[in-house]
Amino acid sequence: MRYFLEVCYKGTNFNGFQIQNTGKTIQGEIQNALLKLLKDPIILTGSSRTDAGVHALQNYFHFDIAGAFPMGKVYNLNSMVSPDIVIKRIVEVGAEAHARFDANTREYKYYIHQSKNPFIQDTSYYYPYTMDWDKLKAATALVLGRHDFSSFSKKNTQVNNHFCEIFKAEWSMDNEQIVFNIRGNRFLRGMVRALVATLLKVGRGYFSFDDFAAILAAHDCTKADFSAPGKGLFLVEVAYPTEVITPSPVM
C-alpha cells in the first residue's frame, strides 16, 4: 500500500531534505523513526528537495508498505523525530501516486529583515540596505511565465531541462519583514535563492532592469548571484490534484 506523509520542519539544524552521508537530514530522521515504528526499512521518496538550513511549512514524501499503516501511531512517530520536525498526517493514496511527479505547483516564500532581530535570525535574512523597490519589482515581473532558468540553477543539477513556468512572483511586507513570494510548476536547485539575491542587486543598483533581463536570457549560471542564505527560505505549499490527495491547510 502507498502512503503520502505530510511534514513541516525548521531546517536550521539539518543538512538538507534528502538523505546523504554528510550530516543529519529530514529524510534520514523520518526513515529512522519509521524503521523503529514498523520494524522494517522504509524508503521515502520526496516531493521537493530543500537545501541545508531551508525550512518547510508543507512538504511530502511517499512510501510503500505491505499492509495498512497504523494511523494511531502518528503521535508515536512524532515523538521519535527531532522537535524541529512535525509529521502532520499520513494518508493512503493510489498505488501510482507520486509525491514528486504528481505535484501541480510548489510555492516558496523568502523572508528578509532590515533591522537586527535575534528572534528571527534563523529564519530570515538580515539585509540592512536601502532599496529601490520600484526597480526591483519591475525586474521581478520578468520572471513570470515560462522560461529557461538555467542562469538561476546550480551546476550539476540532474534534470532533463531547465524550463519552469512561474505563476506568481511578488514582494510584500509582513510584520516588518520583506517577503518574496513565488509559485511555479517546478523549481531548479538553488533557483529561488538565486532569484532573490540577483533581484536584491537590482534593488541596490548593482544591476539594471536590462541587466536582469540579460541574465535571464543568458542561460548561464555564472551571471546570477547565489549569495542569499538558505535560512530565509520556506517551502510553504506543495499542491496536488484532488484525485491524488485531499488538500491540507498550510500551517
Q: Is 13 left (phi over 0), alpha (psi -120 to 50) or beta?
A: alpha
Contacts of 173 (CB under 8 A, 6+ apart): 179
Q: Is 51 a catalytic residue?
A: yes
Residue 139 CA, distance from chain mean position = 22
> Is beta strand 177-184 parallel, antiparallel or unpaired with respect to 233-239?
unpaired
Contacts of 83 (CB under 8 A, 6+ apart): none
Cα–Cα dist 147/224, whole Å: 15
- Pick from 154, 155, 135, 157: nearest CA to 213: 135
The grid coordinates of residue 124 equal: 530570515
75 annotated ligand-binding residue: no
DSSP state of 142: G
Indicate the helix (H) or strand (E) that contains 86: strand 85-93
Selected catalytic residue, list 40, 51, 174, 225: 51
Max CA-CA distance within the chain? 59
Cα–Cα dist 49/47, whole Å: 7
DSSP state of 200: H
Catalytic residues: 51
Residues annotated as binding site for substrate?
Answer: 108
